[in-house]
Amino acid sequence: MTVAGGLGQFLVAVWLRLPEALRPGVLFVVALAVVLLLPSPPRALQTLERLLRSRWTVALVGLLSATAMWFAWTSLQHPPILQDEEAYLLQAHLFASGRWADPAPPIPIFFEQPHVLVVPRLAAKYPPGHALLLALGVAVHRPGLIPVLLLGLTGALLFVLARDWVRSDVGPWIAMLAWLGWIGLVGHDSWPRPSYMSEISTSVLWLAGWYALLQWRRRPQPSYLLMVAVIVGWGAITRPLTMLVYAVPVGAVVLALVVRRGLWRQLAAAVVVGTAVLAIIALWSWATTGRWSETPLALYTAQYLPWDVPGFGFRSTPPTRPLPPEIACFPNLFGTPRADYGLAALPRALAGRALAVVRDTLGQWRAGLLPFAVVGLIAVPVELGVALATGALLLLAYLSYAHDPNYTIYYMEAQASIVALAAFGVAWVAQLAGRRFGRRDPEETAVAAGRRVAGWCALVLFAAGVIPTTRTLRAIRRGREIGDLPHRMFRDSVSAIRPGRAIVFVHFGPGEGCGQNLIENAPPLATARTWIVHDRGSSDADLIRLAPDRVPFLFDTKSWQMRPYTTLQDVTPGPTRPLSSVPANRGLGPPASDR
């Protein structure tokens, strides 16, 4: 073996023994030490920099982002996993058919499912913004199409903003590294992306609003301000609290520029447009609850989860409807911790949530970028600083609501600015070192040397991050293919029912059913091939008599078996072997993810 070969094997062995979190930092130091000795920028590096500034590159980044998310999701028809996702898809089916809500189902107590109203009408509780977008995918029988496209647009916008937030020569390198860090977030264990969750919509709305605002600041054309108004309004009918937080800094910037430039007519037009978008909430409420002033969310909360409101302590008001098995555990799981949630708990809650957000955003190989994110705060550009401050405001706003710190999905909108900060820190440190210590030709300026060093370091870290990011995407894809086996078994057993229309009564034993997510019906119920309903004992006969054209079946959640429903004695199956593969809280999400 040659000396070079032995040295190479030694270096590889050392590299593999390094913890993944340390590898980016070590690689950065090595790359920096090497590139400081390079006298001039190679043509390949200059060519790549020009490509990164191209508009076509932005389109390519968006396409790659959407493709990566599609690959991780395995299918544009992937079934929902979380209870919230099921409610959003029910809502999207209604909107796709041109209806805000459907008539109440026959004997509503059979059809109750989490986050869905069954009286006075059948509708999801969530504000309509996200489901209105999902309806476009539902209309073409590809419900996953819209989340994938929204994530593709998010990736493209992050690239553009990370490049433009820093109006300097190193912007393209920051954008490249920030985009790869964002793509790697698909590996978040608790809240994998893509999904049908509304944070998909508000994440892209945050970035789109900043992009429009930056364009309007540079070129005060009315169309850009109207775009900001539509974006803020649509976000408000999607996740009201999240977009209220977002609107505070955006509104402050808009008002300051309006006063400085005298653009009062533009402001008036934007207010009118934004108000028109907000009016959708009143229309949705009236069409669902019969009252302009009572939203489906407020009505659902009163009916099932009266304690599920912002504030401190546990609200002891009883629900107006009995709790079905799938949400009967919610008061204990999510309500009881609220009893101890008061002003004294706020510092600990804030610290725990902030650490969880940083952990999930800069996890895996990206953990090595955390020191650069901290250093980057020293010289953070104003635009990126405003974005980071908005994320901090989001953390503060959600202190009004008690939740597990691990529910970092509430702060998904802030993740893009965090990875951009880490990428900025890398480029800023490398650029600073290149300006002061970089070797250069007599014709090369210090600024050019700094740009060259920053480009090399960002490129090396990007190349090092491609492999673990690709590995993560593949792992998420495998998990999506096999991870939801119990629910896939149930859906397959329902789909296998032949011929004609059917009613599947789902039997939960005492204390069972929490978070199992089995009761799911796509409107309209009148023409649905299968109804999936709760087993209500001897009352099942009433529903069977109302639908004589439907064949009844009974599904037992202990044996995980489907069988024909022949007599009323079938409503109480005998003892059977529990299915160990069905986790008690599978698909269970926080009960109020869209405040």
- pLDDT confidence tier of residue 94, bands split at 50, 70 and 90: very high
Q: What does pLDDT average to over the chain?
A: 86
- What local confidence, expressed as pLDDT, does residue 14 receive? 54
Residue whose pair of structure tokens reads 């990566």 in the numeric block: 68
Whether a cis peptide bond, with omega within 30° of 0, leads into 128 is: no
Pairing of strands 502-507, 561-564: unpaired
Tell me the C-alpha distance between 483 and 490, whole Å. 14
Tell me the pLDDT tens digit for each residue of 315-367. Answer: 888 999 999 988 888 888 887 778 888 888 999 999 999 999 999 998 888 88
Residues in the chain: 595
- What local confidence, expressed as pLDDT, does residue 357 receive? 93
Tell me the pLDDT tens digit for each residue of 395-405. Answer: 999 999 998 89
Which pair of tokens denotes residue 333? 């799981």
Q: What residues pair up with 555 in beta bridges, in sequence order?
A: 506, 562
pTM of the model: 0.90
Count other C-beta atoms under 10 Å from residue 256's C-beta. Answer: 11
Q: What proportion of the chain, given as a percentage, has pLDDT over 70?
A: 87
Residue whose pair of structure tokens reads 């009505």 in the numeric block: 299
The helix/strand/coil state of 79 is coil
Tell me the pLDDT tens digit for each residue of 273-295. Answer: 999 999 999 999 999 999 999 99
* Cα distances (angstroms) measured from residue 569 to each of 512, 541, 563: 20, 11, 13
Tell me the pLDDT tens digit for each residue of 491-503. Answer: 888 888 887 899 9
Tell me the C-alpha distance between 115 and 95, whole Å. 17
Q: Kindly tell me if the per-residue pLDDT of 586 is higher than 50.
A: no
Angle between helices 240-261 and 264-289 (to 10 degrees): 160
Whether a cis peptide bond, with omega within 30° of 0, leads into 324 is: no
CB 530 within 8 A of CB 504: yes
CB 234 within 8 A of CB 228: no
Phi-psi region of 248 (alpha: psi -120 to 50; beta: other; left: phi over 0): alpha
Which pair of tokens denotes residue 107? 């004997």
Q: Kindly tell me if the per-residue pLDDT of 224 is higher than 50.
A: yes
Angle at 34 between CA 29 and CA 36, to 5 degrees: 95
- What local confidence, expressed as pLDDT, does residue 78 receive? 85
